[in-house]
C-alpha cells in the first residue's frame, strides 16, 4: 500500500526587514570592525536576509554610508547657542564638529572622501562659512577657510585615532621612538633636546589652541 507523501516544505519569502534594522546592523558592524568590513553581503547575512532585500532600502554601500552619517548626526549633533561675535561662532561650530566626530572616529575616513556629507551637519558648515564672511572674507575665501578648518579637524582626529590604535595593538617601540633614541645632536639639535618627552608632548590635546590660531591666521588675510 503506497505511503502518503510527506508535505512539501516551502521556503517562502525571506522575512521583511526595516530601514531601521538595516541601519542598526550596519552601525554595529562599523563600530566593531570598521567601515572596510561593511559589505552588503555581510549586512544581509547578519540580518538574516538576502542582498537583494537590502536594495529595497539602499541602492549601494555609498548610499548606506550617507544614511549612517545622517543617522549619527541627527542623534548626536546638537546646535549650541551661538555667540554674537562671528569669530567665536566659527570656533564653536568647528569645536562641536570635532567633539562629535572624535567620539565616533570611523566616520572621519568616510567624510574625507569629500562627496559624502551628512545633511544634518550643514548647519554647522553654514555657521563657519557665514562667520568667516562676517569677519570680512569674501564668500569664496570663506569656503577656502572652511576647507582649511575641516582638513585640520579631520586630520587631527585621524592621526590621534591611528596612533592610539597602534599603541593598543602593539606595545613594541615605534619606528619614531627607535629613530629618536639615536638622534645626532649635531645634526638635529632641537629634536634631540625634546626627544625624551616628544611622545607626551605630541599626545597633549591642543586642538582648540590650534583651531584658534588657524582661524586667526585665516582672518589675517582680510
pLDDT in tens, 135-160: 999 999 999 999 999 999 989 988 88
What is the C-alpha to C-alpha distance for residues 15 and 61, in angstroms, rounded to an integer?
Answer: 21
What is the C-alpha to C-alpha distance for residues 222 and 210, in angstroms, rounded to an integer?
Answer: 20
What is the C-alpha to C-alpha distance for residues 26 and 20, in angstroms, rounded to an integer?
Answer: 10
Burial 174-189 (b: 16+ CB within 10 A, else e): eeeeeebeebeeeeee
Smallest CA-to-CA distance from 89 within 139, 141, 148, 146 is with: 146
- For the stretch 24-70, pLDDT in tens is 999 889 888 878 888 888 999 989 888 888 888 888 888 888 788 77
Per the prediction, the chain carries an average pLDDT of 84
pTM for the predicted model, two decimal places: 0.74
Q: Can you give the pLDDT at residue 82?
A: 95
What is the C-alpha to C-alpha distance for residues 111 and 51, in angstroms, rounded to an integer?
Answer: 25
Q: Can you give the pLDDT at residue 208?
A: 97
Amino acid at each position: 500500500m503506497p505511503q502518503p507523501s510527506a508535505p512539501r516544505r516551502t521556503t517562502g519569502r525571506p522575512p521583511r526587514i526595516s530601514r531601521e534594522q538595516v541601519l542598526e546592523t550596519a552601525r554595529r558592524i562599523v563600530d566593531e570592525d570598521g567601515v572596510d568590513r561593511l559589505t552588503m553581503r555581510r549586512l544581509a547575512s547578519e540580518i538574516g536576509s538576502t542582498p537583494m532585500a537590502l536594495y529595497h532600502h539602499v541602492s549601494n554601500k555609498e548610499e548606506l554610508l550617507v544614511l549612517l552619517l545622517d543617522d549619527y548626526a541627527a542623534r548626536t549633533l546638537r546646535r549650541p547657542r551661538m555667540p554674537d561675535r562671528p569669530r567665536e561662532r566659527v570656533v564653536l561650530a568647528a569645536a562641536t564638529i570635532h567633539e562629535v566626530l572624535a567620539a565616533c572616529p570611523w566616520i572621519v575616513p568616510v567624510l574625507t572622501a569629500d562627496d559624502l556629507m551628512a545633511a544634518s551637519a550643514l548647519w554647522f558648515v553654514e555657521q563657519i562659512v557665514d562667520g568667516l564672511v562676517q569677519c570680512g572674507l569674501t564668500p569664496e575665501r570663506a569656503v577656502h577657510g572652511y576647507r582649511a578648518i575641516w582638513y585640520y579637524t579631520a586630520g587631527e582626529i585621524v592621526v590621534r585615532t591611528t596612533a592610539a590604535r597602534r599603541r593598543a595593538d602593539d606595545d613594541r617601540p615605534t619606528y619614531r621612538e627607535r629613530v629618536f633614541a639615536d638622534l645626532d645632536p649635531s645634526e638635529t639639535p632641537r629634536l634631540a633636546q625634546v626627544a625624551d618627552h616628544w611622545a607626551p608632548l605630541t599626545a597633549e590635546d591642543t586642538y582648540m589652541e590650534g583651531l584658534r590660531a588657524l582661524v586667526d591666521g585665516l582672518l589675517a588675510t582680510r
